[in-house]
Amino acid sequence: MNREEKAALVASLHDHFKQATVALLATSQGLSVAQMQRLRRALKQAGAEYKVAKNTFVRRAIQDTAYGMLEALLQGPTAVVFGYADPVAVTKVLVRFAEENEKLSIKGAVLGEHLLAAAEVSQLAKLPSREVLLGTLLGVIQAPATQLLRTIQEPGARFARVLEQVRARLEEAP
């Protein structure tokens, strides 16, 4: 690889880091080609991308990005997973694959401004999906309005029940 190709690779990695919402580091030594293809397909469906690059290239690429904290984890064979959509979905795919394949291990991740250890990445993967969280939030937001509506309607409903009881008694009377 000549100098221009190396510079282009670093620039490409830098762009990936700038676009990503989450970046995870993993070691995948010993995975077969078929396993790697399955992992890449699953990550692509989750809105992520799996890249293998030399640590020196990754070190240069993370300069001037929010992912500078990853430098401490760049030791040994390393692959980078760039998540562009829902960070939880990406971590779920990677953690599930790591549980199924012992040869894949997660080193850590950066989400927002926080460096996450491998155990924290596993905890992040246990969170509900974005859609479930939004649905729960919507339910919490709607609950006070629903209770207010019930409170406003209750006196009228109570009056209607009393009238129904009076009507039933009058029909029973001779």
- What contacts 24+ positions apart, CB below 8 Å, involve 167-172? none
**Amino acid 41: pLDDT:** 93
Q: Which domain holds residue 54?
A: 3-127
Phi and psi at residue 111, in whole multiples of 5°?
Answer: -125, 120
| Same domain, residue pair 107 and 140 | no
On whether both 108 and 137 belong to a single domain, the answer is no
Residues 73 and 148 in one domain: no
140 and 121 in a common domain: no
pLDDT of residue 50: 92
Domain end call among 104, 127, 150: 127
- Mean pLDDT across the stretch 147-169? 88
Question: Which pTM was predicted?
Answer: 0.71
Which of 110-114, 133-137, 162-166 reaches the highest mean pLDDT?
162-166
Length of the chain: 174
Q: Is residue 109 located within the same domain as residue 25? A: yes
Across the range 105-134, mean pLDDT stands at 84
Number of domains observed in the structure of the chain: 2
pLDDT digits (tens, 9 = 90+) for 66-106: 888 888 888 888 899 999 988 888 899 999 999 988 888 89
Q: Are 60 and 43 members of one domain? A: yes
User: Which phi and psi (to 5°) does residue 64 adopt?
Assistant: 65, 30
Q: What is the pLDDT of residue 165?
A: 92
Residues 98 and 19 in one domain: yes
The pLDDT assigned to 156 comes to 87
Mean pLDDT of the chain: 88
- Where does a domain end: 112, 127, 142? 127
Whether the Cβ atoms of residue 87 and residue 116 lie closer than 8 Å to each other: no
Q: Comparing 133 with 52, which gets the higher pLDDT?
A: 52
Token readout for 80 is 């980078």
User: What per-residue confidence (pLDDT) applies to 104?
Assistant: 87
Q: Check whether residue 55 and residue 108 sit in a common domain.
A: yes
> Averaged over 152-172, what is the pLDDT?
89
Q: Reply yes or no on whether the pLDDT at 130 is more than 80.
A: no
Task: Give the model confidence (pLDDT) of 19-43 as tens digits.
Answer: 888 999 998 888 889 999 999 999 9
Among residues 127, 143, 164, which one ends one of the domains? 127
Q: Domain check: are 53 and 136 in the same one?
A: no
CATH number at residue 47: 3.30.70.1730
Do 160 and 95 fall within a single domain? no
Q: Both 155 and 82 in a single domain?
A: no
How high is the pLDDT of residue 57? 92
- Same domain, yes or no: 133 and 123: no
Q: What is the pLDDT of residue 123?
A: 85
